[in-house]
Amino acid sequence: MDEEIKKIVKELFDIDVAPSVSIPEEQFGDVATNVAMQLAKQLGQNPRDIADQIATKLQNAPFVSEVSVAGPGFINIKLTDASLIEQAYSAPKKILEGKKVLVEYSDPNPFKPLHAGHLYTTLVGDVLARLVQNAGAETIRLNFGGDVGMHVGKTMWAVVKTLGGEDAAAVQALPVDTLGEWMGARYVEGNNAYEDDEQAQAEIREVNKHVYQLHNDNDHESTFAQIYWYLRDQSYEFFKKLYTELQVVEFDRFMPESEVANPGLEAVKAHIGDVFTESEGAVIFEGEQYGLHTRVFINKEGLPTYEAKDVGLSLTKWNDYHFDESIIITATEQAQYMEVVIKAIEQFAPEPAHKTRHLTHGVVKLSGGVKMSSRKGNILSAFDILQAARDAGEISGQATQENVMLAAVKYALVKNRLGGDVVYDPKESIATEGNSGPYLQYAHARARSILRKSETRNSKLETNQKLEHGERTLVRKMAEYSSAVELATRELAPHHICTYLYELAQTFNRFYENNKVIGDDREAIRLSLVTLYTDILKKGLTLLGITAPEKM
């Protein structure tokens, strides 16, 4: 459509425009454009006159059935049924065909509790990766994680203290299914001690160094190393179990910090003087020159901070994949931090820096305002969210099926625009009424049951088929699928898919209410529409990582 308008404007006025087109309310037409207003100033003409000229030309376009000019110069276009049908059957454009795209998300830290935020990035990241893959990109899913660093020092310090010494056998004897919580509790102890007790702080710093040393020496033998590797492996097992439970696509690669710490350290050291500077015994990047914060990349102990590790991560990604685009999604609290890191990298490796896109998401809160204290360690965990959804399902009736529970959680977390905080309401998320995952699942199951019951043979709709009003409304909505997916992909904004699918399901449910399928004169035609609808709904849900059940 916009191509056609562009062509006409070029012919009429010899101007290149990117016309903004939108989908108006159905009563006005199928497509609307305000291109006449865009041009009015440039041409020094009345927008209404410009609109009339364009409208006249547009009238002759093959896919247009009616054109009208409204208000100050809006052009409302009604499309032919044939073009709507064709559009409804068309797949989204492969806008990333031939591109190699890295998507980094989830990023849980071994030795630390898995909080609700990890669940959020895991699910949103999974959808983002599905979107870029669906758009034709060679997609590589990466998972970064801190298996070295201060938090590990804190946990390991408390572990040794709790065990009353370096006792590998004692750690291995701990019950495996509660080991995650056990480590979480140790992290909290270590963290509190670090803040309150200078003696402990010094000890923790030593433990931290010890952990780095262990990696450099490739030490798997010492008792300390045995404890470390056991807990690290168990952490990763635990994460993998969660991913399986969540039914997210498998990661292509885990990139623990220990792997990228040294490359990062070396890169930073190699650029002391031209990019980084030494200050108070540390190595910093003076972000202030660029209106950003100044940050420490190597601390005075000579250890890489998270900054240097992120440098190492970026360079490793670049060297190993030579990507066209690298997407990273983390919490908003890292937004300005990441800007500094990328700016620093840009100074000596501009290409990967320019091709990196950092997305951020807000905090997940449980509605009802449960008080959380990170100090006590009663943070909202990933499992709390899942359990809250299950519990809410129990209340409203039969035991919640796992795939409905997942649909509820995934949809609730993805339906909001990225950036703001999410208030998770378990009851609302699991309800089959309202804008929820289960509503869409039910909408799918309901439509599928029509197809099961009909004995008429079902075929693709002919484009020359004349549509009745209710049918046309449904087709018109189905025709929007591709542009919704393209928009979500281009903007890396998965919530657009949710908004669209919900509108689609509502449109269908209205159609279902007013139009009989089985036994109607138009059964064959309507069956084709229902088939197309269930296909689109299922494809959309699949992009969200949500199952489309046959029955509910």
The minimum distance between CB 147 and RNA, in angstroms, equals 10
Looking at beta carbons only, is 417 or 466 nearer to RNA?
417
Tokens of 366: 């449980």
CA dist 175 to 84, 172, 190, Å? 60, 8, 21
How would DSSP label each residue in 68-92? EEETTTEEEEEEPHHHHHHHHHPPP
Looking at beta carbons only, is 90 or 336 nearer to RNA?
336
Helix (H, G, I), strand (E, B) or coil at 349: coil
The minimum distance between CB 324 and RNA, in angstroms, equals 25
Looking at beta carbons only, is 139 or 502 nearer to RNA?
502
Looking at beta carbons only, is 163 or 552 nearer to RNA?
552
- From the number of C-beta atoms within 10 Å of its C-beta (0-12, 13-18, 19+), residue 448 rates as buried
Looking at beta carbons only, is 139 or 188 nearer to RNA?
188
Looking at beta carbons only, is 17 or 163 nearer to RNA?
17
The minimum distance between CB 507 and RNA, in angstroms, equals 9
The minimum distance between CB 100 and RNA, in angstroms, equals 26
Helix (H, G, I), strand (E, B) or coil at 423: strand
Distance of alpha carbon 266 from alpha carbon 37, whole angstroms:
56
The minimum distance between CB 201 and RNA, in angstroms, equals 9
The minimum distance between CB 552 and RNA, in angstroms, equals 5
CA dist 294 to 16, 276, 285, 344, Å? 44, 10, 6, 10
Looking at beta carbons only, is 2 or 86 nearer to RNA?
2
The minimum distance between CB 371 and RNA, in angstroms, equals 13
Is 297 within 8 Å of 314 (Cβ atoms)?
Answer: no
Residue 397 region by backbone torsions, left for phi larger than 0, else alpha for psi between -120 and 50, else beta = left
The minimum distance between CB 4 and RNA, in angstroms, equals 18
Name the strand (E) or helix (H) holding 264: helix 257-270
Is 544 within 8 Å of 414 (Cβ atoms)?
Answer: yes
The minimum distance between CB 173 and RNA, in angstroms, equals 29
Q: Which residue has the tokens 């809160």?
A: 365
Tokens of 416: 């909001």
Q: How far is CA 108 from the centre of its chain?
A: 16
Phi, psi of 273 (to 5 degrees): 110, -55
Distance of alpha carbon 501 from alpha carbon 414, whole angstroms:
12
**DSSP state at residue 460:** P
Looking at beta carbons only, is 139 or 511 nearer to RNA?
511
Looking at beta carbons only, is 20 or 213 nearer to RNA?
20
Distance of alpha carbon 447 from alpha carbon 430, whole angstroms:
20
Looking at beta carbons only, is 192 or 432 nearer to RNA?
432
Q: Other CB atoms closer than 10 Å to residue 388's CB: what's the count?
A: 25
The minimum distance between CB 428 and RNA, in angstroms, equals 6
CA dist 11 to 19, 102, 107, 454, Å? 14, 42, 53, 51
Looking at beta carbons only, is 164 or 273 nearer to RNA?
273
The minimum distance between CB 423 and RNA, in angstroms, equals 4
Looking at beta carbons only, is 201 or 463 nearer to RNA?
201
The minimum distance between CB 193 and RNA, in angstroms, equals 14
Spatial neighbors of 493 by CB under 8 A, at least 6 apart, are 417, 418, 487
Is 50 within 8 Å of 25 (Cβ atoms)?
Answer: no
